[in-house]
Amino acid sequence: MEPIDYLRTITRRWLLILIVGLLGGAAAWGYSATLPEQYQATNSVFVTSDRGETTSELLQTSTFTQNLVQSYAQLATTPTVLGPVITRLRLDTTTQALASRVTAVTPLNTVFINITVTSRSAAEAVMLADAVSRSLATTVETLAPTGPDNLPSISVKTVSPAQLPADPFAPNTELIVLTGALVGLMLGILYALAREVLDTRVSTEKDLDRVSSNPLLGMVGRKRRTDPAGLVMRVMPHSALAEAYRRVRANLEFIDVDSPPRSAVVTSAVTRDGKSTTAINLALAMAERSTRVLLIDADLRRPSIAELCDLEGDVGLTTILLGDVGPEDAIVRWSDGIDVLPSGAVPPNPGQLLGSAAMKTLMKRLLEDYDFIVVDSPPLLPASDALGLSRLTDGAIVVARYKATTRQQLTTTLESLEAVNARILGVVLNQVREHRADVYYGPLTPMIGASTPMTGPINRVTATRAPKAAFDDSGRRDPESARTK
């Protein structure tokens, strides 16, 4: 992924990221609500010495006091100071435990000591701060040197008694919630990126490039449920979807301008990728150019062409291969310029039938009679029938289903075709969703990879900006199609 792709992933999944962020904030808020409230109160004392008569004496004592203040501050957390506090207030605690809740700091170059006490109760914090500073005063006065009058030379006076705190200082809910929300956002972004990186389903032309150098013949959008039922090329001949099939046809013609392929097998990795749909619509697109197009249903495992074309499928390819009838008795004129050879009865040994010499001879003969033959086939991963068929035709068109076929599946499919030296005419990405196509190609982006001649004429815009929803299965039959049997 390139940096721009990361950015796109984030903008595309903004809602998810936002939700995870909000959840993080909410979780942090819940957590902070479980934390006990803590209050702080501060008592400031002033350390002074009233010794000295002359200026120089006063200066001397002042320096002396300032030097000592730091040490006095340290005293505030000693048992000497805290012991009497515990006794006087009858606290159920130890000097050590109390010390952990007391801090005494001296602002730089001053003779102030700020004694701060933390407590679960605001009133107790005040009481303790005052008691500790009183005890500190007593201790300091005991420790200080005495003057000639036997009085302590240093005194500690409270200048700012502790105030009852209005709000707890902890937990800092705002900070905790903000942190939770930020962590949530980060997790959301990481999740979105990880999904994008780990998602191996084919969804862009780049994914195809990563898998192979085979050209992209076209991107067929997804038919909406609300679109008229039936085959796109017939019921919506002017739609972007129909246009996408025409572009596949155009790209096939461009593969070799002097002798364009005259037959193709349509296959894919697994079932329901859209092989049969692509085969029929491609045949219909071909029939717009040529009057002699044949569509063969060579998916002898799950034939569907007869049903899709609303024809009887009992007599067909297998009947011919078994020698019961000739091609002329099995091939059906479906509509103008397009003939259909249904599958016939489903045989127990489809692989054997399709690989037979009879099949080879049949194909040879049919190629003489038709300008273009489209062969529908079973999926390649579970069955190898399409491999043989690809050798009997001018090559294979591999259908990949947007956001369903994985790169691994597509690679295996293409590799197995390459392994038998089959010609791969190209890949058709099927059921592309509109918004996704726009994200990647933009409404007016010209073709990428125009250097490959066969991809040249694809207008990616029309090919990808097709309607969204799926064909519904109920809509397979085309009421307008000519019933020939």
Enumerate binding residues for ligand ADP (CB under 6 A): 220, 222-223, 268, 271-277, 304, 430-431, 470-471, 473
CB of 211 to Mg ion, least distance (A): 22
Q: Which is nearer to Mg ion, 54 or 474 (CB)?
A: 474
Which of 104, 308 has the CB closer to Mg ion?
308
CA angle 192, 194, 199 (to 5 degrees): 95
Q: Does 304 bind Mg ion (CB under 5 A)?
A: yes
Stretch that binds Mg ion, among 184-192, 196-204, 260-268, 302-310 (CB under 5 A): 302-310
- Residue 92 vs 473, nearer CB to ligand ADP: 473
276 contacts Mg ion (rule: CB under 5 A): yes
Asked whether the bond before 171 is cis by omega within 30 degrees of 0, the reply is yes
Cβ nearer to Mg ion, comparing 249 with 275: 275
Longest dimension (CA), the chain: 137
CB nearer ligand ADP, residue 241 or residue 332: 241
Listed residue (95, 130, 116) closest to 38, CA to CA = 116
Backbone angles phi, psi at 143, to 5 degrees: -80, -25
**Closest residue to ligand ADP in the complex (CB):** 471
d(CA 334, CA 480): 11
Q: Please, is 450 exposed, middle or buried when counting C-beta atoms within 10 Å of its C-beta (0-12, 13-18, 19+)?
A: exposed
* Contact of 341 with 330, CB cutoff 8 Å: yes
What residues from 4 to 63 belong to the interface with Mg ion (CB under 5 A)?
none
User: What is the rounded CA–CA span in Å between residue 39 and residue 29?
Assistant: 19
Q: Could you tell me how many residues of this chain bind Mg ion (CB under 5 A)? A: 3
Which of ligand ADP, Mg ion, none interacts with 274 (beta carbon under 5 to 8 A by kind)?
Answer: ligand ADP
Q: Interface with Mg ion by CB under 5 A: which range of 49-57, 81-89, 216-224, 269-277?
A: 269-277
Position 134 contacts Mg ion (CB under 5 A): no
22: its two tokens = 């909000």
223 binds, among Mg ion, ligand ADP, none (CB under 5 to 8 A by kind): ligand ADP
Closest to Mg ion by CB, 32 or 276: 276
Stretch binding Mg ion (CB under 5 A), from 164-172, 192-200, 255-263, 304-312: 304-312
Burial 199-236 (b: 16+ CB within 10 A, else e): ebbbbbbebbeebbebbbbbbbbbbbeebebbbbbbbb
Does residue 275 interact with Mg ion by CB under 5 A? yes
Cβ distance to Mg ion smaller for residue 117 or 269:
269
H-type helices in 236-384, by residue range? 240-255, 275-287, 305-308, 317-321, 327-330, 350-354, 357-369
Shortest Cβ 312–Mg ion spacing (Å): 18
Residue ranges in contact with Mg ion by CB under 5 A: 275-276, 304
